[in-house]
Structure 1
Amino acid sequence: MKEKVLVEICCGSLEDVIIAKKAGAHRVELNSNMFLGGITPSIGNIEEAKKSVDIPIMVMIRPRGAGFCYSEYEIKTMERDMKAAIKAGADGIVFGALREDGTLDVELCKRFMDIIGDREAVFHRAFDVVKDPFKVLDTLVDLGVKRILTKGQKNTVEDGAELLKELIKYSKGKIEILPGGVRPHNVKWMIETLKFNQLHVASFTRRKDHSTQCNPEVYFGSPLNPKEIDYDIANYEYLKEMCENIKTITKANCIK
């Protein structure tokens, strides 16, 4: 069993970052718009997060939802966002870039890595839709990427367990594998059986903003999106319980 397990918590705002730190996070991934799976946060969020907590902040650079094949307009935006995020204090950059056929866009990744420089480079779950994960892993190693966020090319870590086991064995000493999809029912299994020493945790609850209710028929996004009265906020009680469970399982203090 691993003696220490690093907990990374997925955040969608400055308040989420503060909640994550209070709950016991050792590192956060900062996004915005979790309804879309996480896109680039504002510079204000990054700067205030760096002022508010003393743990590493990985910043998502993703210009939109949907896939990961980007136009030159989007690429220019991503490059500028990366530079701005680093200037604002980001400890690492989370990114992904694929071609339309689902293969890794190596040349674009090289462009991004040149900008990221000595900050941590994390390849996000675009990895979970590539055709040849082992070939992509090797290429990411060659590019200097530090870590891959993955659920083993499935929607749950349980379903992706076999590939995760292979990736852990194959990647040892070359690149870090960061599993997502951690839940109370599987965290012990992930630590003791899969031998992970870091975990990516996410949990959000709904908070209400009643300021639109004088005219509730009006909407400002898509009518298919969540109601205008609700928005997501990190679930402190859940995250705190998860961090405490991980401490108990590992029988060790959290990493400082």
Structure 2
Amino acid sequence: MILEVCCGSAEDVLIAAQAGADRVELNSALFLGGLTPSIGAMTVARQVSIPIMAMVRPREGGFCYSEMEFAAMLADARALLAAGADGIVFGCLHPDGRVDKARCAAMLEVIGEKESVFSRAIDVVPDWREALDVLIELGVTRVLTSGQASSAPAGADTIRAMEEYAAGRIQILPGCGVKPDNAAALLAATGCHQLHGSFKTSRTDISATHNPAVSFSGGVCPPEEQVPVTDAAAVRAALRALGK
């Protein structure tokens, strides 16, 4: 059983590794669903010995990218791998929501022998079986999914169906809404052998709160002083719940 922790910073990676995580996924902007981390974050995070998967997602929103955005994705992937990433997480779709095979193939060429993970873009495709067929044909290592539901526990039946359909040809990684108190049940319900969760708590940074007229966040966001960080206790609790 592998527990992967979704991290929003190099500090998160260190906390997760010290707490006993088996693998991490390094992102930035988790509130937006996870975006490409900086090369500095990847370089600093590389002090840990566990595998680091690096997200390559240039913006929030969908997964159908402009030519410029996709060129930046390829450049980011090369740079992150050079900085020590053990694999790349990405997702490319056509406007109709189907997997963009050509762009996935281009990304896989950059990734080479390292691990490749198709992101939760799989959760918005119109036909997940067709999508898995494409990804299997391309040789993608793993798919991160909530089972096309609001959370992995809610999509457990579909995740089990994905695991059975994959039949060992591609790894299925349940993620979204994974917590210490549902981790073991989710593994049992899905038949999978790995989980992905963020296990967040928060710390306080009041430096941006002294002028109420200024906000650096758009839309409905957590309070400015709330900074999401990995909760080592939650990671340990999840590992205990899973018998690790």
**TM tier, shorter chain?**
over 0.9
Partner of 2:179: 183
- Please tell me the root mean square deviation across aligned C-alpha atoms, in Å: 1.4
Q: Contact (CA 8 Å) 1:23, 1:243: kept in 2 or not? A: no
- Percent of residue pairs identical: 45
Aligned to 2:49: 54
Q: Deviations over 1:58-99 (max 9, x none)?
A: 000000111101011111110110000010011000000001
Any unmatched runs of 5+ in structure 1? Answer: 248-253
1:208 to 189, 204, 208: 204
Q: Decide whether aligned partners of structure 1 residues 238 and 73 sit closer, same or farther in structure 2, where only a CA change above 3 A counts.
A: same
Contact 1:29 1:60 in 2 (8 A): yes
Within a 5 Å distance, the mapping from 1:162-241 to structure 2 comes to: 162-181=157-176, 182-222=178-218, 224-241=220-237
Counterpart of 1:137?
A: 132
- 1:12 aligns with one of 8, 25, 34: 8
Match of 1:63 among 58, 77, 91: 58
Instruction: Map 1:146-165; keep pairs closer than 5 Å.
Output: 146-165=141-160
For 1:210-244, what per-residue CA distance to the aligned partner results, in whole angstroms no more than 9, with x for missing partners?
Answer: 11233232122326333322211111221221112
Looking at structure 1, the residues matched to 218 and 12 of structure 2 have their Cα atoms a distance apart, in angstroms, of 24
Q: In structure 1, what is the Cα distance between the partners aligned to 2:221 and 2:189?
A: 38
Aligned length: 243
Matched, 1:26 2:22: yes
Deviations 1:11-35 (A, max 9, x none): 0001100110111101000000111
Matched position secondary structure for 1:184: coil
Unmatched runs of 5 consecutive residues or more in structure 2: none
Mapping of 1:85-100 within 5 angstroms? 85-100=80-95
Shift of 1:197: 1.1
The TM-score normalised by the length of structure 2 is 0.95
Larger RCO of the pair (alpha carbons < 8 Å, separation 6+):
1
Per the alignment, residue 72 of structure 2 pairs with 77
Q: Deviations over 1:174-233 (max 9, x none)?
A: 000000132233222223343221111212122221112332321223263333222111
Q: Match of 2:46, as an amino acid?
A: K
- In the alignment, is residue 37 of structure 1 matched against residue 33 of structure 2? yes
Amino acid at match of 1:64: R
Higher mean C-alpha displacement, 235-244 vs 140-149: 235-244
Residue 210 of structure 1 aligns to a residue whose secondary structure is coil
Amino acid at match of 1:32: S
CA gap 1:157/1:220 in 2 versus in 1, 3 angstroms: closer
Contact conserved, 1:205 with 1:233, CA < 8 A, in 2?
A: yes
User: Cα deviation per residue 1:118-161 (whole Å; 9 max; x = unaligned)?
Assistant: 11000010000001111110110111100000111101223312
Contact 1:37/1:65 (8 A) holds in 2: yes
Q: TM-score, normalised by structure 1?
A: 0.91
**Secondary structure of 1:211's aligned partner:** coil
Partners of 2:92 and 2:104 within 8 A in 1: yes
